[in-house]
Amino acid sequence: MLPLNDRRLFQPTPLADALAALADQHGGRGRAAPDAREFAGRPHSYELLNQYAAGQQWRALALAAEATIQATPIQSASDEAAVLRLWTYRALALVRLAHAAAAARELQAVEAATRGTSVYARFRARAPTVVWPFELRVLRAQLPGLAHGDWRRTCERVCALLRACERRAGDANAQRRFRLQMLLAGAVLRLRDAALAAALLARLDAADDPRVLSACARLHLQLGSLPHAELLFRRVEARVPADDKLLLMNRAMYAVAAGKWAVARDLFARVASDPLGEPHVAAANNAAVCELFLGSPQRMLAQLQLLMADSPTAAGSAAELVFNYCTALDLLHDGPALLAEKSRKIADVATWAGDGFDTSAFKMQ
Amino acid sequence: MHPLEGFPLSETLVLPRSFGTMYLGETFSAHLCLCNESPSVVRDISVQVVMQTSTQQLQLFSDSSKHLASGQPLNIQVAHEIKELGAHVLGCSVHYLSAQGERRVLQKSFKFQVANPLVVKTKVNHLGRDVLLEVQVHNATQGTMALERLRFEASSPFTAEDLNTAADGAALWDSSAGFMQAGDVRQYLYRLRTHIDPEQVTVDQERAVQYATALGKLDILWRGSFGSFGRLQTSQLLRKSPGMFLLEIESAEVLGKTAALEEPFVVRALVRNVSERRMAVSATVHAHTHPMVISCGAAQ
């Protein structure tokens, strides 16, 4: 049985980045791959690991976590717990680099290694994951879906975690339960069982939370059930102030579903233009999308460009916005002009986006 | 991170990744953008947008005598309700005068297929003069749909009673019944009646009912992703008409309360000639089927 910090538990860390490669091809400058030798052989502080995570430097995080795990001696139960916490960083980095399969293989090996730990022996755990940090258990539960599209298996694992949560009381546990319930609804949605996902959302512990009600209503809109969505939106309206952004967003979404694009655009623009609040990237994006349906892809493009320039990290590197932007480019340009515009956008995004950016957003066929 | 931030359905609208599948009854919408990318003005532009199917060509947009300055776009939006299955082609042709004064043509087309969103099957049972119509609706699309309305409109001489209600009278398949996922099947039941008084029905009325083959049409409205909707009306749902015998026995009864052994009893039968010609009628008791009954002839 291998110790939790054994180097044989690790898969090779992927250092190639699709966005960096694309930027290099199109005259931009992609973020250089971190040098593995700079990370190896020494531990890295949690502050640095968190910094890498906040900056979406997933390759650096994967290398730093690996090095820190290997450099951490295991002499006590608290050392084991600390190393398991580091494994959370490692698995998260691999998932964000779109290498969920590698993360799954590593955690499988860690699972086997956990059986040899003193913590496991002390708690006489029925399953190795019981002694893992909650975040690591949540990641493990999501991996079958993320790595192999096996969302059914993800549902089973999330349900097992839910059953464990339900045996405990307390606020922290209530928050965990809510998070797991949302994960379960999301996994069911990926299994294309919309009716079950809607039923799960309705039964959530926080089912009266305006944000949950709004999410459930959006699900109904997505599936064409406008009357039911309206009922849920009205329940939200009874719980929030009249000028609340959530309320305005809901009305705008309903207007989109009803085909009232001008109404939707004005509502989204109202949310996006609030000078006192933080930039509402989703609202600004949605207002721009409405312009396309109102007959002006040019206005859509201009608004998205402005949004991405004003908020380069939040909007400029958001794959959905980049996709919408490139769709407008496809409509307005052709041939070399289109390629030139997209190359400019790739260089722009490469400046701000972290590792693991979904390059299919550029629609480079 | 709030748990909702990881939920697959976010507040951000994202344009579709692909055209997907077009279904009969839906509305095809397109945005066309014509942009002058040359350094000079392009004159005498005329644009035609047509939809070509296997049976017809429909003009969706036509405009002429436009000019476009350098870099100026022309945005065109068209919509077309899909009423045919099979291959469709959206064709756009642009005639213009180049800077050198040459007449030029630019043509682009977009081909797509139209599939059937719903498969409707029916089964007919007869209950006297009434008809019980079972309708099975199958979601043949690849996505989930909300069936907003399914209404049966009966054809004369029938009227339809909707039997799709629960014991408390609530509709079984209203909008709160959830969605039809891809491949789901729903069954509906209707009772078709005529409003002809059986005591006063004429032969012609009877004939009209018995020989009627057209039962009615289904009118279906559904909604898909973000409110997109489709509507279909089926062709006439048909039945094999039960037809009529030349003579109809309207009633048959034994007169008196009992029939005693070895004593004659009277049977009265009311027979109606529903054919179109005069008939001579005789009644016979078949000895081989009723060996214990002997016919004594007509009663006085």
Residues B224, B143 contacting (CB under 8 angstroms): yes
Q: Are A341 and B35 in contact (CB under 8 A)?
A: no
Q: What is the pLDDT of residue A130?
A: 67
Could you report the per-residue pLDDT of B192-205, keeping only the tens digit for each? 998 777 667 777 77
Residue of A nearest to B148 (CA): A225
User: Which pLDDT score is estimated for B249?
Assistant: 75
Q: Which of A146-150, A309-313, B143-147, B172-176 has the highest mean pLDDT?
A: A146-150
- CA dihedral A352→A357→A358→A361, nearest 10 degrees, is 0
CA distance A364 to B112: 22
Q: Closest Cα partner for B91 from B58, B63, B118, B122?
A: B58
B282 pLDDT exceeds 80?
A: no
Residues of A with Cβ-Cβ distance to B13 under 8 angstroms: 256, 285-286, 289, 324
Phi, psi of B23 (to 5 degrees): -120, 150
Beta-sheet pairing, B146-154 with B214-223: antiparallel
Query: Hey, of A225, A253, A260, which one would you mutate to test binding to chain B, going by the most B CBs within 10 A of its CB?
Result: A225
* Residue A344 burial class via C-beta count within 10 angstroms: exposed 0-12, middle 13-18, buried 19 and up: middle
Helix H or strand E encompassing B50 = strand B42-52
Q: How many CB pairs under 8 A join A and B?
A: 125
Whether residues A332 and B35 touch (CB distance < 8 A) is answered with yes
Neighbours of A29 (CB within 10 A): 11
Residues 234-273 of A with CB under 8 A from B: 249, 253, 256-259
Name the region of B297 (left: φ>0; alpha: ψ -120 to 50; beta: rest): left
Segments of chain A scoring below 50 in pLDDT: none
Kindly identify which residue of chain A lies nearest to residue B224, measuring between CA atoms: A224
* pLDDT > 80? residue B12: yes
B7 and A185 in contact by Cβ < 8 A? yes
pTM to 2 decimal places: 0.84
Q: How far is A249 from chain B (nearest CA, A)?
A: 8
Confidence tier at B143 by pLDDT (50, 70, 90) = confident
Which residue did the predictor score with more confidence, A246 or B212? Answer: A246
CB < 8 Å from B in window 111-150 of A: none
- Report whether B101 contacts B74 (CB < 8 A): no
Say if the Cβ atoms of A256 and B227 lie within 8 Å.
yes
Instruction: Kindly identify which residue of chain B lies nearest to residue A287, measuring between CA atoms.
Output: B13
Please state the rounded mean pLDDT for residues B126-155: 89
Residue B182 pLDDT: 87
Q: Which residues of A touch B7 (CB under 8 A)?
A: 182, 185-186, 215
Interface contact B9-A224, CB threshold 8 A: no
Which positions 144-183 of A are in contact with B (Cβ < 8 Å)? 178-179, 182-183
What is the Cα–Cα distance from B277 to B292, expressed in whole angstroms?
A: 35
User: For chain B, which residues lie within 8 Å of any Cβ of chain A, measuring from their own Cβ?
Assistant: 2-4, 6-15, 17, 31, 33, 35, 37, 73, 75, 77, 144-146, 148, 175-176, 178-179, 181-182, 222-229
Residue B3: the pLDDT is 65
A-chain CB neighbours of B4 within 8 Å are 182, 211-212, 215
Write the ipTM: 0.89
The answer, yes or no, to whether residue B175 has pLDDT greater than 60, is: no
Query: Which pLDDT does position A253 carry in this prediction?
Result: 95
Task: Give the least confident one: B85-89, B91-95, B115-119, B166-170.
Answer: B166-170
pLDDT higher for B109 or A1? Answer: B109
Pick from B33, B37, B223: CB nearest A331: B33
* Cβ-Cβ contacts under 8 Å for A78 (sequence gap 6 or more): none
Stretch among A166-180, A278-292, B228-242, B284-298 having the lowest mean pLDDT = B284-298
Instruction: Identify which has the larger pLDDT, A276 or B223.
Output: B223
Given a cut of 80, whether residue B206 has pLDDT beyond it is no
Q: How far apart are alpha carbons B190 and B150 in whole angstroms?
A: 12
Q: Please judge whether B14 and A324 are an interchain contact, meaning their C-beta atoms are less than 8 angstroms apart.
A: yes
Question: Within 13 Å, how many C-alpha atoms sit on residue A24's CB side?
Answer: 10
**How far does the CA of residue A290 sit from the closest CA of chain B (Å)?**
9
With CA atoms as reference, the chain A residue closest to B4 would be: A182
> Are B182 and A192 within 8 A, CB to CB?
yes
In this complex, which of B3, B179, B181 lies closest to A178 when CB atoms are compared?
B3
Average pLDDT (B123-146) is 89
Query: Does A186 contact B8 at a Cβ distance shorter than 8 Å?
Result: yes
Asked if B228's CB is within 8 angstroms of A211's CB, the reply is no
CB contact under 8 A, A286 and B35: no
**What's the rounded mean pLDDT across residues B66-82?**
92
Contact A183 B6 (CB under 8 A): yes
